[in-house]
Amino acid sequence: MDILKTHDLTRKFGDLTAVDHMNISLRQGEFFGLLGPNGAGKTTAIKMLITLLPPTSGTATVAGHDIVTAQRDVRRHIGYVPQLLSADGQLTGYENLLVFARLFDVPRGEIRQRVEDALDFMGLKGAGDTLVRKYSGGMIRRLEIAQSMLHRPQLLFLDEPTLGLDPIARRTVWEHLARLRKDFNATILMTTHYMDEADKLCDRLAIMHLGSVVAMGTPAELKAGIGNENATLDEVFTHYSGGTLEEAQGGYRETRMTRRTAGRLR
């Protein structure tokens, strides 16, 4: 059974169709990338799948539960790392984990162990009692991923997990995501607009452009699809979207958002 399946999932904001008849499915244990520039509809798609935003039309099931009629069941089975900075800087790493362990119904007797394991797993063992506002951007991201994994979700949603990170911090996050997947057999849906990231991490990709999925497959298939096995994913994107990434990067609002998020991480 597919752990996530969408059927013509659509969201409109007034005249703008942010997500247009999206049909994707994820298998257990898969690392799936939703690729596209800012404004392509990736975040809107994720918000619908994690029950924060009702679809205008279409349906989806997550872990077998409908995202509209069984929201509480969906929420129980997912983890979510937003694009925006979402750890609380006024609390320690340990406390940030503690509160989410409680909100996600981790059994009381196991909370302490899970939190400590999560810190250890994400390479934050010595930093548990430090206030998060003293963390580096990469540490915050790893803490946020740890927060999303405490209740052992069947499916993890990561929205631009390396946005605003320097190359070294990005690589560390990648390594931890790869380990997470290997050790917990986690199914991960990640959005990104970094081609190298998608190429390195994802089993399969869907390329989004202006709300629509324009191509889907393994990175190798997508490259073969344009008749050039040595193509970079940039070239793949350009081929399917009919424009360059540069042109599609979004306007002032997206740029401001990206910069601001990146700034907060520092």
Binding positions for another protein, rule: CB under 8 A: 47, 50-53, 72, 75-76, 78, 80, 82-86, 88, 90-92, 95, 98-100, 102-105, 131, 147-148, 264
For another protein, the closer CB: 155 or 201: 155
- 34 backbone dihedrals φ, ψ, rounded to 5°: -110, 110
Say how far residue 254 (Cα) sits from the centre of its chain: 17
Q: Which is nearer to another protein, 18 or 205 (CB)?
A: 18
Q: Is 17 helix (H, G, I), strand (E, B) or coil?
A: strand
Query: Would you say 67 and 157 are in contact if contact means Cβ atoms under 8 Å apart?
Result: no
CB of 232 to another protein, least distance (A): 30
For residue 96, the minimal CB distance to another protein (Å) is 9
Q: How many CB atoms lie within 10 A of CB 27?
A: 13
* Smallest distance from another protein to CB 87, Å: 8
Comparing C-alpha atoms, which of 11, 15, 80, 93 is closest to residue 50?
80
Q: Which is nearer to another protein, 67 or 169 (CB)?
A: 67
Neighbours of 195 (CB within 10 A): 19
Q: Which is nearer to another protein, 4 or 85 (CB)?
A: 85
Going from the C-alpha of 94 to that of each of 135, 137, 145, 152, 155, the distances in angstroms are 13, 17, 13, 17, 23
Helices (H) and strands (E) in the chain, counts: 10, 11
For the CB of residue 225, give the shortest distance to another protein in the complex, in Å: 34
Residue 255 one-letter amino acid: T
Minimum distance, C-beta of residue 105 to another protein, in the bound complex (Å) = 6
Nearer to another protein, 77 or 171 (CB): 77
To another protein, the closest distance from the beta carbon of 244 in angstroms equals 29
Between residues 92 and 192, which has the closer beta carbon with respect to another protein? 92
CB of 118: closest distance to another protein in angstroms?
A: 15
What's the CA gap between 157 and 199, in Å, rounded? 18
Residue 36 vs residues 14, 70, 195: alpha-carbon distances, Å:
22, 29, 9
| 264, burial (CB in 10 Å: exposed 0-12, middle 13-18, buried 19+) | middle
**Which secondary-structure segment (H or E) carries 62?**
strand 57-62
Nearer Cβ to another protein (2/88):
88
